[in-house]
Amino acid sequence: MKSKIILKDERKTSIVSYILLTIFTIVAIMPMVYLISTSLRPNGALYEFPPRLFPKIENLTLENYRYIISESKFYVNFLNSIVAAVITVCVSAFISTGLAFVLGKFRFKGKKLLFGFIIMTMIIPGTTLIIPQFELAITLGTVNKLMGLIPFYIAWVIPFSTFMIKGFIENIPDDLMEASEIDGASVLTVFFRVVLPLSSPAIASVSIFNFLSTWEEYPWANTVINDNQKRTLPIAISGFFGQHQFTQWGYVFAMSVLTLIPVIVVFICFQKYFVSGLMSGSVKG
């Protein structure tokens, strides 16, 4: 009798869990569904009444995508975003892994203070630093240049990356590195031949976050870049708002869908590292 009651309670819990998961899944994917459906309908169909979530079959069109793909500036903006994201991810991964190696495996005075300083920079909202960063960009002569984005993006993502990778490196057995040192390996050899390969899951997981952060970044890019040829995709998308006193939402949504393709590709390529690296880095920080 008692086992039947327990089984009945478990079944109720499962049903409630499925209902909640279904609701949350629908809420999560609904913006994506609306984004894709809107990109496949003519601009004039967006203002029909009553509004429709899905377009009529006869209204489906690829005209918005044809227009975006035919625009040469789309490829320029796309290339700018790729260059900024890839350089940021590669440079920040290398610097963050080096910092995490030093903080995770070496003992020296001021280690806790240095790590605390890195953590402190993570809690400062980025928008509050735009004015001093803009003054710094003027001093460095990087305003209205793609190089005005990359160094600042790298500086932004290094604290979080270091925090996550440090937790992973601390779990690497010291015996493994000591054995390498006994065989005559230098510190740099241990770093490049032992620590870097073993830390690849953590590096891959934070690189996904860094790529997303750089790829979708808008406020700083909109502040420091004015040249159309130097703009990244988020700024290019915002250029459709109010263009010719009319926002062509079909173009906006089609371009937004196209910008998701690299993000999906990156996630698919690194998904096997994503969960393991994220969990390992967060367990011991």
Structural domain of 8: 1-59
**Do both 224 and 127 map to the same domain?**
yes
Report the pLDDT value the prediction gives residue 285, as an integer from 0 to 100: 43
Report the pLDDT value the prediction gives residue 129, as an integer from 0 to 100: 84
Report the pLDDT value the prediction gives residue 275, as an integer from 0 to 100: 64
User: What distances in angstroms separate CA 163 from CA 104, 128, 158, 266, one per listed residue?
Assistant: 10, 22, 8, 22
In a domain, 162, yes or no: yes
pTM of the entire predicted model: 0.81
**Do both 191 and 137 map to the same domain?**
yes
In a domain, 102, yes or no: yes
Report the pLDDT value the prediction gives residue 243, as an integer from 0 to 100: 64
Q: Phi then psi for 50, rounded to 5 degrees?
A: -70, 150
Q: Tell me the residue type at 237.
A: I
Domain count, the chain: 2
In a domain, 13, yes or no: yes
**Do both 149 and 211 map to the same domain?**
yes
**Do both 32 and 118 map to the same domain?**
no
Provide the 3-class DSSP secondary structure of residue 25: helix
In a domain, 92, yes or no: yes
In a domain, 193, yes or no: yes
Q: Tokens standing for 36? A: 């894709």
Distance of CA 11 to the CA centre of its chain: 38
**Do both 118 and 192 map to the same domain?**
yes
Q: End of a domain among 38, 59, 80?
A: 59
Which residue ranges in the chain fall short of pLDDT 70? Answer: 1-5, 242-245, 274-285
Q: Which of 262, 274, 268, 265 is nearest to 83 (CA)?
A: 262
**Do both 54 and 75 map to the same domain?**
no
In a domain, 264, yes or no: no
User: What distances in angstroms separate CA 119 from CA 126, 163, 220, one per listed residue?
Assistant: 14, 7, 22
- The CB density around residue 14, as the number of other CB atoms within 10 Å, is 10
Report the pLDDT value the prediction gives residue 244, as an integer from 0 to 100: 63
**Do both 119 and 193 map to the same domain?**
yes
**Do both 48 and 136 map to the same domain?**
no
Beta carbons within 8 Å of 73's beta carbon, 6+ residues apart:
228, 229, 236
**Do both 96 and 199 map to the same domain?**
yes
Rounded distance between C-alpha atoms, residue 244 and residue 167, angstroms: 52
**Do both 75 and 39 map to the same domain?**
no
**Do both 216 and 93 map to the same domain?**
yes
In a domain, 21, yes or no: yes
User: What distances in angstroms separate CA 226 from CA 21, 193, 231, 251, one per listed residue?
Assistant: 44, 43, 7, 21
**Do both 8 and 107 map to the same domain?**
no
Rounded distance between C-alpha atoms, residue 254 and residue 127, angstroms: 28
In a domain, 284, yes or no: no
Report the pLDDT value the prediction gives residue 97, as an integer from 0 to 100: 93
Per residue in 24-67, pLDDT (tens digit) is 999 999 888 888 888 888 877 777 777 777 777 777 888 889 98
The CATH number of the domain holding residue 220 is 1.10.3720.10
